[in-house]
Amino acid sequence: MGKNILMKGLTQNNGTWAYVRSIPQQLRGHPTFKGKKNYRRQLISSAATEEQLFNAWKQAHADYEQYISSLKQLNLPIIERNELIKKAELYLRVNKLKAGMLADDESVMMDNTPMFRHAVTSMIEEAGVFEELFDHGSAESYHALANPYYSEQELPANLQIQKQAWKLLTEPAKKYQAQCLFSDCWTSYQSKKGLDLSKREDKRIKACFDKFITLSGDQVLTQEALNDALHKYVDVRELARENNILKGLTAKPSPSSITRELNTLLAIFRVGIKKNRLGITIERPDIKLDHQPTQRHTFTAEEQQLLIDRISDSSRNDYQPYKELMLLLMIQTGTHITELLRLERTKVKLDHEIPHIILDGGVLPRFCGHFKEA
């Protein structure tokens, strides 16, 4: 393929094309990458045409470049700032201090008077809480540190923390609050739900969130930013569906799939909003309904018998007893796959006068009592 030479990051392995790029060194510590050196995205089968491959690569390349650009411009300073603030807050707590104690900030405590602040300053001086920082900057007093001689980049790490702690201590508490990012919501959600990314379902949830971050960028969590990003996500997913229809391909993603993805994202963000006590109201985007009825294939009696013969053939390499059991139940009782996945042993009543299975999943349980005789 002539164009392949110009397609940066294009690789081929095991019959598929993939887009692989090295993650910039300064971004590998970002929560999205977790120290990974490479970004990888599966593209398309090797059997695809050159035009299909180029279109898939073009989209993947644009997504990657836009996302990396967004992280470089916005996220790293915020992430580094948040980490520094957290360490500074811990430094204050260890020394029995609070943000805003030396500021004229009544939101910290009601008796934050000049006399109180003088007493706190005296305690700090006696304990030498910031002595190392002031010695380093050759400051004559604590108040002279308002305009320090050294920037954070020139200070050792421990003094950067002390300097940030001094800012927290001497200025209104709200001024230096850590900013919550979109990615912080995932961290909170994963922790609360106890998700295990080695499990398929949990991995699917993470993939949905990663797709959202790729489209929106890892922004600061505000009401405007979140609602704009959610609407953009739905628009992009619906556009992908419309493009597939125009190309004569399967109409994917379906409205129900987009709804499921949106519900997943809303659940993640609600956890983050609640944990960080943010006054954010989420505007749920509208999703276009599918006006074209879905045509589903109905298996004939002959096809059902052929399927039973195949799944019961223990000589086949892909034979699995649980597959045989599940498909037999589906064929003989009309059970849905989702109902089988939720089926509990206590709901199988084979010793009943009329053997039956209680299936959950709808508004009300339903009963299946048709069994093939042994």
Phi, psi dihedral angles at 40 (to 5 degrees):
-130, 135
Torsion angle of alpha carbons 305, 308, 314, 318, nearest 10°?
A: 120
Model pTM above 0.75: no
Do residue 204 and residue 159 come from a single domain?
A: no
> Residue 86 falls within a domain, yes or no?
no
Residue 173 and residue 89 in contact, taking contact as beta carbons nearer than 8 Å: no
**Quick one: 269 and 192 in the same domain?**
yes
User: Does residue 242 carry a pLDDT above 90?
Assistant: no
Range of the domain at 49: 10-77
**Does one domain contain both 164 and 192?**
no
User: Band of the pLDDT at 273, cuts 50, 70, 90?
Assistant: very high
Does residue 345 share a domain with residue 321?
yes
Assess whether 312 and 251 both reside in one domain.
Answer: no
Residue 226 pLDDT more than 50? yes
Residue at 142 is within a domain: yes
For residue 368, being part of any structural domain is answered with: no
Of 23-37, 82-96, 192-206, 256-270, least confident by mean pLDDT is 23-37
Q: For residue 367, what pLDDT is reported? A: 60
Q: Supply the pLDDT for residue 59.
A: 83
What are residue 60's phi and psi, to 5 degrees? -65, -40
pLDDT of residue 74: 47
The answer on 126 and 63 residing in a single domain is: no
Lowest mean pLDDT among 77-81, 184-188, 284-288, 335-339: 77-81
Specify if 180 maps to a domain.
no
Mean pLDDT of the chain: 77
Is there a domain that residue 291 lies in? no
> Total domain count for the chain?
4
Q: Tell me the mean pLDDT in the region 11-40.
A: 77
Q: What are phi and psi of 22, to 5 degrees?
A: -75, 130
Distances (CA, A) of 14 to 34, 47, 83, 263: 26, 12, 41, 34
Is residue 367 in a domain?
Answer: no
Report the share of the chain in percent with pLDDT over 70. Answer: 75
pLDDT band of residue 283 (cuts 50, 70, 90) is: very high
| Residues 206 and 251 grouped into a single domain | yes
Per-residue pLDDT at 374 = 42
> Are residue 67 and residue 125 in the same domain, yes or no?
no
Of the given ranges (4-13, 130-139, 220-229), which has the lowest mean pLDDT? 130-139
User: Rounded to an integer, what distance in angstroms lies between the CA atom of residue 154 and that of residue 351?
Assistant: 78
Identify residue 357 by its one-letter amino acid code.
Answer: I
In this structure, the answer to whether residues 145 and 63 fall within a common structural domain is: no
Could you tell me which residues come within 8 angstroms of residue 281 by beta carbon, excluding any fewer than 6 positions away? 223
More confident site: 27 or 91: 91
* 135-144, 275-284, 339-348: which is most confident: 275-284
On whether residue 372 sits in a domain, the answer given is no
Element containing residue 292 per DSSP (H, E): none
Whether residues 271 and 193 share a domain: the answer is yes
Give the model confidence (pLDDT) of 166-213 as tens digits.
777 777 666 556 678 888 899 899 999 999 888 888 889 988 998 898
Strands ordered across the beta sheet of 356-359 = 348-349, 356-359, 366-368
Domain identity same for 137 and 219:
no
Please tell me whether residues 142 and 205 are part of one structural domain: no
- How do residues 68-113 score in pLDDT, each as one tens digit? 765 654 455 666 666 777 787 787 778 877 777 777 655 555 566 6
Residue 103, token pair as written in the block: 């500021």
Give the tokens for residue 201.
């379902």
